[in-house]
Structure 1
Amino acid sequence: MPSIRIAIVGAGPVGLLLARLLLDNPGVDVTVFESDQSPSVRGQGGSLDLHPTTGIAALKEAGLYEEFLKRVRFDGEALIICDKNLIPYVNLPRAEENTSRGRPEIDRSSLREMLLHSVPPEMIRWGWRLRSIDSQHRVVFDQGTESGFDLIVGADGAWSKTRQLLSSQTPIYSGIAGISFTIPEAEERAPKGYEMVNRGSVFAYSDGKGITAQQAGDGSLDISAWYVQREDWRDHAAHDISTAQGARTQVVENYQDWDSRLIDFVRQGERPVARSLYMLPVGWKWKHRSGVTLIGDAAHVMTPFAGEGVNLGMQDALLLSRAILKASKSSDPTFQLPAQIKTFEAGLFVRARKTAELTRDMMQWWFFTDGSPRSVVEKVVIRITAFHQSGPLASAAFPFFAAGVYAYYFGFKWFH
C-alpha cells in the first residue's frame, strides 16, 4: 500500500515532470488532474531553452535525457540581440551537442508530449477543472469532490486556484503587453527572416519596444511584438486586433522607425494572439500550510525576458520529488512529509527570488531604460553570466571577465 497520496493539479510540463519523477515508487500514489479535455485541446506556446543545472538536470534524474536528445535543437542556440536598426550587440552562432553553450531549444509542445508519454495514461484525469480546495483539503472539481490526499501540489499556472488556499496574492501587471504571431513554413514564405533567425532567435529592443523571432521545430517562426503600455490597452486599440490584418496594422503603426527587416516579421505573421504579461511580486512567498504546496508558475510566475521560468519550475519538480521520496522512505511518512515540504518551500523561496530579480532586471533594462540595448548591454551580459557562474575559480576570475566585457563593448560601440 502506498504510504503517501499526492494530487497534482495541472498537467503542464512542471506537473507532468513531478509525476514522472515520482513514478515507480511504491511508497507514493500520484493522480494528476487537468482542466483541459485532452492534450491537444490548445497550443502549448513556442520554444524553450533548457539549462544544464535546472531543466536538463531534472530530465536526467527522470530518465528522460536520451529521449530529450532526440527532440532538442542545439542549433537553436543561435542568437542575435540587436536594436531597432539591426545593430547586433550579441551575435552567437549555431551550436551542436559537443559545442553547446548550455541552452539548447525544445518546443513546448514536444517537451509536454515527451512527458505525457513517460507516465501511464490512467494517472491523468483529463477535463477535471478545479473549482476550489476547502479548509479540510477536499479538492472540489466540476465532476465532484476528491479527498484523502496527503499533499496537494498546485502546478496550475499563473492564475492558480490552488494558490488561493495559501494566499490572496494574484499576479500583477508587468507594464508590458503585445501581440504574438506565427509564420508557418517560414523558409518558403519568409526566406530573408528565416535566414536571419538562423534556426535560433532574434531579440530586438529599442524605445520601450521589442520584436522577437524564434525558430520552432516544425519550420515555423514564432513572432512577438512587445511594448510598454497600459493594462487596458486592448480596449483602446486603434484596430481590430482579433484579425490578422488588424493586428499587423496595430503593431506596424507603432514600429514605423524600425528596420524594415524587423517589421517584416510582423507583416508576414498570421494567427495573432494578444498577450498581457503578468508576474508575482519579486520575493513573494506564502506561509507554510501542511498538505498543500506550489510549483512552477503557480509559485513564481514571471515575464519571459530572462528565459528562466520553465527551468526554475522543472527544478521545483525535481527538488519536491526528492522531498516527497525522502518522507515516503521514513518510518512514519505522513508525519515526516510536512517537515520535508516546509524545507523544500524555504529553498524554493530563495531560488525564486534570485530568478525573479534577474527577470525583473532584464525587463527593466530592455524596456524601461533610455538608450537600450546600447546603454545596458554590458550589464546584461555580466548579470546573466554571474547568475549562472558557480565555484570558487569562476568567482575569482569574474572581475577579469567583467573588465573584458566593458573593454569589448567600448570598442564595439566606437565602430557602431
Structure 2
Amino acid sequence: MSSIRIAIVGGGPVGLLLARLLLNKPGLDVTVFESDQSPNCRGQGGSLDLHEKTAIAALKEAGLHEEFLKRARFDGEALVICDKGFIKYVNLPGAGENSSRGRPEIDRFSLREMLLHSVPPGMIRWGWRLCSIDEQHNLIFDRGTESGFNLIVGADGAWSKTRKLLSSQRPAYSGISGVTFNIPHAKEKAPECYETVNRGSVFAYSDGKAITGQQVGDGSLNISAWCVQGEDWKENAAHDVSTVQGARSQILDTYQDWDSRLTDFVRHGEEPITRSLYMLPVGWKWKHRPGVTLVGDSAHVMTPFAGEGVNLGMQDALMLSRAILKASRSSNPIADLPSEIERFEDDLFMRARKTAELTRDMMQWWFFTEGSPRSVVEKVAVRMTMFHKSGLLAYATLPFLTACVYAYYLGFKWFH
C-alpha cells in the first residue's frame, strides 16, 4: 500500500501541531517546510490563551497535554478590560490549575518550542521559503523544487503562497494599525507597569484606540498600541515610528488624555515594531481542489480582538489530522483522501465563519462604536459567553444571562 505523502508549508504552531498529530501513523510520510533559517532566528511575540474545547483538545489528542500543563501560566488568566480613564469594566483575578476558567496562558515561544520538541528534527526543513506552487502541484522554493506530494497543506500565514493556488483573494486592511513594544525585566525596570498587569493582561479601549499590556513568562511585558487610522499612517506620522523615541512620541501625542498607568506602558516600551492588521472577508471560502488545502491564518486570518485565532487554527490541525487518518485507514487511501479533505473544508468554513463574525463584531464594538467600552460592554459580555456555549440549553438561558449582565452593568455604571 502506497504512503500518503504530505507537505506542510509553515512551521508555526498550527503546522507543527498537525505534524505531531500525524507522527508515526502508518501509511503517512510528512515533511514540514519552514522559511525561517532556524527555530530562534526571530521573536515569537507575547502569550496566548488556549481554550479547552479547541486548542487544548488538540494538544490532548497529540499527547502533549501534560507537557502543556508544565508550561501553562494559570495566573496569566488575570484580566482587566478598561477605558482610557482606567475604569475597569472587567476585572478577573489570576487562577490555578484547579480553579482555571479554561483559558490558561502560554508564551508563543514556549508553545512553539514544545511543538518543535515533539517531532523529530528531520521532519522539518529549515530555510525553505516557498515562492509558488504551479498547476501540477510542484512546490517551487528558493532552494529548489519539490514534487510528488498527495496533499499540500498551507499553514503559511496571512500572506500564504499556498492560498494563491486556490484563490486570488487577499486579506484586506482592517482600518487598524499600531506599534508593539517590549518591556524586558519589567519588575525591575517598570514596577508600576508590572503591578498593573498583575501577571495577566490589561486591555484598554477608548476613542478608536487601544493600549494593551500582557505578561510574558520570561518576566517581560508585551505592549501594543492600536489606533483606527489609514493604511499609510507611517508615511504621514509626525515622528519617525521606526525609532524608540519616535514611536513613543507618536503614540503619546495622540493619547494625551489617557490615564498615566496606561501610557506608562508606552513610555517604558522598547524594540518598537509597527504593525497593520489585515483580515479575510467573513465567510470567505475556496473551491475544493484535490491535493491542496489550508489551515490557520492561511484559511481565515483575522484581527486579534476576540483572542480566537490560534485556537481556531489548532482546531483546524486536529480536524484535518482526523480526516487524513480516516483516509489512510481505507482500502484505497490516496483515492479516498480528496473526499475526506473536502469534508474537512466544509467543517472549517462553518467554524471559521462563526469565529470571524465574533472577531468582526468585537473589533467593531471596541474601535468603531462611539462611547466604547462603556456603551458596548454588556453586548461584549453576552456575545463572548454565548460563543463558548452550544445546544438548546445555552439558548434557553440566554434571556436570563442577558438580564443578569445588563442589570449588573446598570448598577456598575451608576457608581462609575
TM-score, normalised relative to structure 1: 0.99
Deviation at 1:3, TM superposition (A): 2.1
Give me the identity figure in percent.
78
1:7-53 deviation line (CA, Å, top 9, x unaligned) = 00000000000000000102111000011110111111111000000
Contact 2:205-2:373 at 8 Å conserved across structures: yes
Q: 1:133 maps to what in 2?
A: 133
The correspondence of residues 136-147 of structure 1 with structure 2, limited to 5 A, is: 136-147=136-147
Q: 1:7 maps to what in 2?
A: 7
CA distance in 1 between partners of 2:165 and 2:23 (Å): 27
Q: 2:95 maps to what in 1?
A: 95
CA distance in 1 between partners of 2:22 and 2:159 (Å): 25
CA distance in 2 between partners of 1:199 and 1:392 (Å): 37
Q: Say whether residues 1:61 and 2:61 are aligned partners.
A: yes
CA distance in 1 between partners of 2:141 and 2:373 (Å): 47
Contact 1:293-1:341 at 8 Å conserved across structures: yes
Q: 2:330 maps to what in 1?
A: 330
Contact 1:74-1:105 at 8 Å conserved across structures: yes
Q: 2:308 maps to what in 1?
A: 308
CA distance in 1 between partners of 2:259 and 2:220 (Å): 22
Q: 2:216 maps to what in 1?
A: 216
Q: Say whether residues 1:370 and 2:370 are aligned partners.
A: yes
Q: 2:122 maps to what in 1?
A: 122
The amino acid of 1:90's aligned partner reads: V
Give the 3-state SS of the residue equivalent to 1:97 in structure 2.
coil
Contact 2:196-2:261 at 8 Å conserved across structures: no
Q: 2:400 maps to what in 1?
A: 400
The correspondence of residues 12-411 of structure 1 with structure 2, limited to 5 A, is: 12-411=12-411
Contact 2:206-2:366 at 8 Å conserved across structures: yes
Deviation at 1:202, TM superposition (A): 0.3
CA distance in 2 between partners of 1:187 and 1:270 (Å): 15
Deviation at 1:401, TM superposition (A): 1.1
1:40-86 deviation line (CA, Å, top 9, x unaligned) = 11111111000000000000000000000010000000000000000
CA distance in 2 between partners of 1:16 and 1:201 (Å): 27
CA distance in 2 between partners of 1:182 and 1:131 (Å): 32
Deviation at 1:394, TM superposition (A): 2.7
CA distance in 2 between partners of 1:153 and 1:109 (Å): 23
Unmatched segments (≥5 aa) in structure 2 = none
The amino acid of 2:161's aligned partner reads: K
Contact 2:151-2:292 at 8 Å conserved across structures: yes
Deviation at 1:250, TM superposition (A): 0.6
Contact 1:202-1:212 at 8 Å conserved across structures: yes
Deviation at 1:110, TM superposition (A): 0.4
CA distance in 2 between partners of 1:343 and 1:391 (Å): 22
The amino acid of 2:293's aligned partner reads: T
The amino acid of 2:298's aligned partner reads: A
Unmatched segments (≥5 aa) in structure 1 = none
Deviation at 1:2, TM superposition (A): 5.2
CA distance in 1 between partners of 2:72 and 2:391 (Å): 28
1:154-176 deviation line (CA, Å, top 9, x unaligned) = 00000000000000011100000
The amino acid of 1:71's aligned partner reads: R
Contact 1:80-1:203 at 8 Å conserved across structures: yes
Contact 1:200-1:214 at 8 Å conserved across structures: yes
In the superposition, relative to structure 1, how do residues 13 and 215 fare at CA in structure 2: closer, same or farther (>3 Å)? same
Deviation at 1:392, TM superposition (A): 3.4
The amino acid of 1:298's aligned partner reads: S
Give the 3-state SS of the residue equivalent to 1:305 in structure 2.
coil
Deviation larger for 140-149 or 83-92: 140-149
Contact 1:2-1:29 at 8 Å conserved across structures: no
The amino acid of 1:322's aligned partner reads: R
CA distance in 1 between partners of 2:245 and 2:94 (Å): 33
Contact 1:205-1:211 at 8 Å conserved across structures: yes
The amino acid of 1:102's aligned partner reads: G
1:72-108 deviation line (CA, Å, top 9, x unaligned) = 0000000000000000000000111111111110011
Give the 3-state SS of the residue equivalent to 1:353 in structure 2.
helix
The amino acid of 2:196's aligned partner reads: M
1:293-312 deviation line (CA, Å, top 9, x unaligned) = 00000000000000000000
CA distance in 1 between partners of 2:189 and 2:146 (Å): 50
Contact 1:2-1:26 at 8 Å conserved across structures: no
The amino acid of 2:292's aligned partner reads: V
CA distance in 2 between partners of 1:40 and 1:189 (Å): 25
Deviation larger for 322-331 or 137-146: 137-146
Contact 2:197-2:214 at 8 Å conserved across structures: yes
Contact 1:216-1:222 at 8 Å conserved across structures: yes
Contact 1:378-1:405 at 8 Å conserved across structures: yes
Contact 1:296-1:314 at 8 Å conserved across structures: yes
The amino acid of 1:385's aligned partner reads: T
Contact 2:76-2:215 at 8 Å conserved across structures: yes
CA distance in 1 between partners of 2:193 and 2:391 (Å): 40
CA distance in 2 between partners of 1:219 and 1:238 (Å): 32
The amino acid of 1:125's aligned partner reads: R
CA distance in 1 between partners of 2:40 and 2:186 (Å): 23
